[in-house]
Amino acid sequence: MKKTITSNDLKNLVNEAHAQVKDLKGGKNANYIPFLDKIDSNLFGISVCLPSGEVIEAGDTNYVFGIESVSKVYTAILVLRQYGAQAVLDKIGADATGLPFNSIMAILLENDHPSTPLVNAGAISADSMVKPVGNSEAKWKAITDNMRELSGSDLKLLDELYKSESETNFNNRSIAWLLKNFNRIYDDPNMSLDLYTRQCSMGVTAKQLSIAACTIANNGLNPVTKQQVFDPSLSPKITSLIATVGFYEHTGDWLYTSGVPAKSGVGGGVLGVVPGLFGIAAFAPPLDEAGNSVKAQAAIKYIAQKLNVNVFGGDHVEVIN
Ligand code: DON
């Protein structure tokens, strides 16, 4: 069914979702990275960005939190921009692992077939691919420029988070060297790991995430800066990567119940894409046992269900002023 709503209706719905979800209990801050354990668990924000460039916000949408695994979407886009869709499929892959984000088992099981840039192993591979290969400083500039272009403003490194992650990333160190063993890393493993750790330690707001999400929903055109950030043909590729593995081993359950391709991070952020309609982001630190924000999931589901938007069906919604 076709349905037209005003941006004011959407504003009311975003406020309603915030009010409904804000007292939801359950979940715990990530504690395997000490910095994340200390963040106020009551923070909660929802931001929706429309292709018109309008951003609708409720709650703590300007609080800067650790982007963590949502950064995997950004670097996946960067290597898609630099290499094209086929090379990313060949060098990393686009399969769901069905296993936790930091799984070593997944690498062993798929040793003849890479997985996806949206789990730790594939994300470290993606960082190794970033051009110019061999030059850490220039690679970091490419990563952060791409983040700015997608979000419409600079993201800033959270030094304390970077230190905290670097001091505790033993599992990821094993992943980087195991990838080397299977010829699935395309630059120095330690450098690739450090770039991955740094990109996860970038500070972002829910508002910035929603703008990046809308850039994906809007075929690569940033709705706020009006820059064509990536080729429109890459948009469905990015959304399909997000849809297949955005919630790791709970991706199927998430898609089945929400209908919204979305990517989570242990900092409490979730970025969701409804192609052609909007980008949505929510942030709240307490996570379920798979590492996905409890309130962010509930808020996105609430809004999607009330609008009846779903990439597998649902209504065709248009938002007017
Ligand atoms: O690699 C890690 O452990 C973190 N820097 C990121 C993990 C993460 O956000 C997983 N997502 N839910």
Q: Position of tokens 């999400």?
A: 213
Q: Position of tokens 């429109």?
A: 232
Q: Are strands 55-59 and 202-204 parallel, antiparallel or unpaired?
A: unpaired
Does ligand 1 lie within 6 Å of residue 101's CB atom? Answer: yes
pLDDT digits (tens, 9 = 90+) for 116-174: 999 999 999 999 999 999 999 999 999 999 999 999 999 999 999 999 999 999 999 99
Atom of ligand 1 at shortest range from CA of 266: 9
84 C-beta neighbours (distance < 10 Å), count: 14
Atom of ligand 1 at shortest range from CA of 291: 12
CATH architecture group of domain 69-200:
3-Layer(aba) Sandwich (3.40)
Are 46 and 281 within 8 A, CB to CB? yes
Dist CA 212 CA 192 (whole Å)? 23
Measured between its terminal Cα atoms, the distance across the chain in Å is: 20
Ligand 1 centroid–CA 320 distance in Å is 37
23 C-beta neighbours (distance < 10 Å), count: 9
Q: Residue 318 is inside which H or E element, if any?
A: strand 316-320
Dist CA 276 CA 219 (whole Å)? 8
Full pLDDT tens readout for the chain, 321 residues: 999 999 999 999 999 999 999 999 999 999 989 999 999 999 999 999 999 999 999 999 999 999 999 999 999 999 999 999 999 999 999 998 888 888 999 888 887 666 899 999 999 999 999 999 999 999 999 999 999 999 999 999 999 999 999 999 999 999 999 999 999 999 999 999 999 999 999 999 999 999 999 999 999 999 999 999 999 999 999 999 999 999 989 999 999 999 999 999 999 999 999 999 999 999 999 999 888 999 999 999 999 999 999 999 999 999 998
2-63+206-320 and 69-200 share one fold: yes
Extract long-range pairs of 149-152: CB within 8 Å, 24+ residues apart: 149/222, 149/225, 149/227, 149/229, 150/74, 150/77, 150/211, 150/212, 150/215, 150/222, 150/229, 151/204, 151/208, 151/209, 151/211, 151/212, 152/208, 152/211, 152/212, 152/222, 152/224, 152/225
Q: Which sign, positive or negative, has the C-alpha torsion 235, 238, 244, 247?
A: negative
* Ligand 1, pocket-test mutation among 97, 120, 245, most atoms within 8 A of CB: 120
Whether domain 2-63+206-320 has CATH 3.40.710.10? yes
Ligand 1 centroid–CA 200 distance in Å is 7
List of residues 6+ apart from 255 with CB closer than 8 A:
243, 261, 312
Residue (of 112, 109, 87, 80) closest to 97 by Cα position: 109
The reported pTM is 0.97
| Residue ranges per structural domain of the chain | 2-63+206-320, 69-200
Please enumerate, by residue number, every residue annotated as part of a binding site for substrate: 69, 120, 165, 172, 196, 248, 266
Does ligand 1 lie within 6 Å of residue 68's CB atom? Answer: yes
Does ligand 1 lie within 6 Å of residue 291's CB atom? Answer: yes
Ligand 1 centroid–CA 69 distance in Å is 5
Q: Nearest residue CA, atom 1 of ligand 1?
A: 120
